[in-house]
Structure 1
Amino acid sequence: MRLQDAVPQPGSQKRRRRVGRGIAAGQGASCGFGMRGQKSRSGRPTRPGFEGGQMPLYRRIPKLKGFERVNVKQYTIINVGALSELAANTEVTLSSLMDAGIITTDDGPLKVLGDGEVSAALTVRAAAFTASARQKIEAAGGTCEVLD
């Protein structure tokens, strides 16, 4: 493709409106801007976002740290590395981890994160797993069961 080949499609470009050339031309005198008012003055457009003096949208919305999420799902989280101290063939649930003292507070359903290593084969029952956590547990010979 060459520079001279880059031309607009036929019919895509319209001729510009010639305003202020008399009443017969259709856009004479006030040139389609009406009679009076802010929108008829020279240099007429107000700045982008101007709402006539009302507090504009970009100043009304929440600032800085983003918006609060409405229904945030709270999880009790644990890393795979914390499960490495458990014996092999152990069934891991939120209640068993609290009994063992690995988790001290119940902040909601259990979610397993992938930081650390696990060597024992464990049966882990949790509400959610990260992809790396699932991969590490299954690589050690364990299983991951997602609870409702």
Structure 2
Amino acid sequence: MNGCGSSMSKEMVDSGDEPHVLAVDDNLLDRTLVEKLLKKSSCKVTTAENAARALEFLGLNLDNNQRNNSVSKVNMIITDYCMPGMTGYELLKKIKESSIFREIPVVIMSSDNSPNRVNQCLEEGAQMFMLKPLKQSDVTKLKGHLMNSRS
């Protein structure tokens, strides 16, 4: 890999015209798969191994005085639903409560597509709910949402 991993460097955020996706998953294999599929589709990808790291990357764990200088620009967030500490659903709620990030599409992934879980996520503002493991055809669907979020 080219240094993306779970490191969150600023040069990845500000360079190029590729859509930037923050991929959050506690499972290394799933996170790597999502990263490879998105990069294959010409996306810039930053990964985080849990919701706390994602919030840190976005600057949502900081107080309002610090937040403005450290906000990271992403075009989409894709997160696993089931993670220790904070679930993807709880991460979704925090993002949608943020005035800075509320308009960014959030996609929830899970190996369990129970109707209650899907509806709960969509009602809270998730753009899509996708079954794991992600496939290239899923990423093609995501690209449409990514292009819309960049305009």
Q: TM-score interval w.r.t. the shorter chain?
A: under 0.3
The structure showing larger relative contact order (alpha-carbon pairs under 8 Å, at least 6 residues apart) is 2
TM-score (norm 2): 0.25
TM-score by length of 1: 0.26
Q: Which has the larger radius of gyration?
A: 1
> Whose helix proportion is higher, 1 or 2?
2
